[in-house]
C-alpha cells in the first residue's frame, strides 16, 4: 500500500511542477488569446542556465533566486520586440513565429552546451530522505511540493488581490474595456508574458535536479503544458492547478501500474475530461 501512497505524493510533486509550467501558458492565452509555442523553450532555458550556474560553482539556491527573473526579462523583451507585432494576425502567424523562436532557442542551447544531456546535483541541504513510519521519501521532492504550494498561493494573491491581477482578469474578458478605463494594455501584455516565461523557467530550475537537462526537454514540457491547459480550461489559474495535479497523479500512478503506458495515460485523461467537459474542468464556454 505504501508504494501507491508514495506514487500519489510523487504525483503531487510532479503535478505542482506541471502547474508552474502551465499556469503562464494558460494566463497568456486567457489575456492575449495568443498561442505560445515558445513556452517550453523558456523552461529549457531555465534548466540550462541553472545547470551552467551550478557548473560555475555557484549554489543552486542563487540559481533558484536569479534565473527565473532573468528569463522573465528575456520573455518581456521577446514580447515587446517581436511577438506583439503579430497579435492582430491569425493564430497561424502566432504558431509560426513562436515555433521559430523555440527552434532558435533550442539550437542555441545545442550550440552552447552540446546535443547530449547532463545532470544537476541536488543541493546538499536537501539530499537524503525523510522517514514517516514505513514511508521513505526524498527531501528534495518534499521541498518541491512545499515551495510550489507557497508559490501557488502567491500567484493566486497576485491575480486576485492586486490591481495588476484585476487588470489581467478584466483584460481576459475584454481588452477594449480595459483600454477605455485608461489602463496601458500593452504594458499589461508585456508583464503577463514575462511572468509566464519566468514561471516556466522556475519549473525548469526545479526540474533540473530531478530529471537532468537535455536540449529536447522543452518540446516534452510544451506538450504536457498544453494538455494541462486543455484539461484545466483555457485562461484559468485554478484550472492549471487542478489540471497539473490530476495529470501528475495519473502519470505517477500509471508508472507503477503500467510503466509503458504512463505517458499515454496523460492523453487518455485529457480525452476523458474533454468528453465530459469540453471547455475543461475549470474553463468557461467561449
Every domain of the chain and the residues it spans: 2-276
Positive or negative, the Cα torsion across 219, 37, 200, 172? negative
**At a CB cut-off of 8 Å and minimum separation 6, what does 21 contact?**
39, 43, 199, 200, 203, 221, 224, 225, 228, 244
Looking at residue 176, its pLDDT comes to: 66
Looking at residue 28, its pLDDT comes to: 81
Positive or negative, the Cα torsion across 78, 84, 87, 89? negative
98 class by beta-carbon count within 10 Å (0-12 exposed, 13-18 middle, 19+ buried): buried
C-alpha cell at 242: 487542478
- Distance, in Å, from the CA atom of 50 to the CA atom of 118, rounded to the nearest integer, reads 12
CA distances from 194 to 20, 28, 148, 187, 224 (A): 14, 10, 19, 11, 20
CB of 27 within 8 A of CB of 165? no
Looking at residue 130, its pLDDT comes to: 87
pLDDT along the chain (286 residues), means of 10: 80 92 84 83 96 94 96 93 82 88 95 93 90 83 94 89 74 64 74 91 95 94 90 84 91 84 84 85 69
2-276, CATH topology level:
ABC transporter involved in vitamin B12 uptake, BtuC (1.10.3470)
Looking at residue 181, its pLDDT comes to: 64
SS3 138: strand
Looking at residue 258, its pLDDT comes to: 82
Looking at residue 146, its pLDDT comes to: 94
- Distance, in Å, from the CA atom of 232 to the CA atom of 246, rounded to the nearest integer, reads 9
CA distances from 216 to 147, 188, 241, 259, 275 (A): 26, 31, 25, 21, 31
What pTM, to 2 d.p., does this model score? 0.91
- Distance, in Å, from the CA atom of 140 to the CA atom of 218, rounded to the nearest integer, reads 22
Looking at residue 93, its pLDDT comes to: 85
Long-range contacts of 252-258 (CB under 8 A, 24+ apart): 252/7, 252/8, 252/10, 252/11, 252/14, 253/4, 253/7, 253/8, 253/11, 255/7, 256/3, 256/4, 256/7
CA 195, 197, 200 angle in degrees (round to 5)? 110
C-alpha cell at 38: 515558445
Amino acid at each position: 500500500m505504501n508504494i501507491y501512497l508514495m506514487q500519489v505524493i510523487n504525483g503531487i510533486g510532479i503535478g505542482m511542477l506541471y502547474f508552474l509550467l502551465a499556469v503562464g501558458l494558460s494566463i497568456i492565452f486567457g489575456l492575449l488569446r495568443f498561442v505560445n509555442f515558445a513556452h517550453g523553450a523558456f523552461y529549457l532555458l531555465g534548466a540550462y542556465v541553472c545547470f551552467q550556474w551550478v557548473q560555475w560553482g555557484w549554489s543552486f539556491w542563487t540559481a533558484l533566486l536569479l534565473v527565473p527573473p532573468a528569463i522573465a526579462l528575456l520573455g518581456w523583451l521577446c514580447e515587446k520586440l517581436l511577438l506583439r507585432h503579430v497579435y492582430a494576425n491569425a493564430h497561424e502567424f502566432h504558431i509560426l513565429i513562436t515555433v521559430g523562436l523555440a527552434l532558435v532557442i533550442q539550437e542555441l542551447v545545442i550550440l552552447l552546451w552540446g546535443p547530449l544531456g547532463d545532470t544537476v546535483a541536488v543541493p546538499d541541504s536537501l539530499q537524503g530522505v525523510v522517514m514517516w513510519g514505513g514511508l521513505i521519501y526524498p527531501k528534495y521532492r518534499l521541498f518541491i511540493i512545499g515551495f510550489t504550494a507557497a508559490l501557488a498561493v502567491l500567484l493566486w494573491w497576485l491575480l486576485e488581490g492586486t490591481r495588476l491581477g484585476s487588470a489581467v482578469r478584466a483584460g481576459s474578458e475584454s481588452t477594449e474595456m480595459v483600454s477605455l478605463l485608461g489602463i496601458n494594455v500593452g504594458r499589461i501584455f508585456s508583464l503577463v508574458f514575462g511572468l509566464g516565461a519566468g514561471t516556466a523557467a522556475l519549473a525548469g530550475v526545479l526540474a533540473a535536479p530531478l530529471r537532468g537537462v537535455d536540449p529536447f526537454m522543452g518540446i516534452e514540457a510544451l506538450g504536457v503544458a498544453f494538455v494541462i491547459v486543455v484539461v484545466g480550461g483555457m485562461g484559468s489559474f485554478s484550472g492549471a492547478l487542478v489540471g497539473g495535479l490530476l495529470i501528475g497523479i495519473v502519470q505517477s500512478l500509471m508508472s507503477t501500474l503500467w510503466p509503458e503506458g504512463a505517458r499515454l495515460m496523460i492523453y487518455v485523461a485529457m480525452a476523458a475530461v474533454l468528453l465530459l467537459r469540453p471547455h475543461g474542468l475549470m474553463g468557461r464556454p467561449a
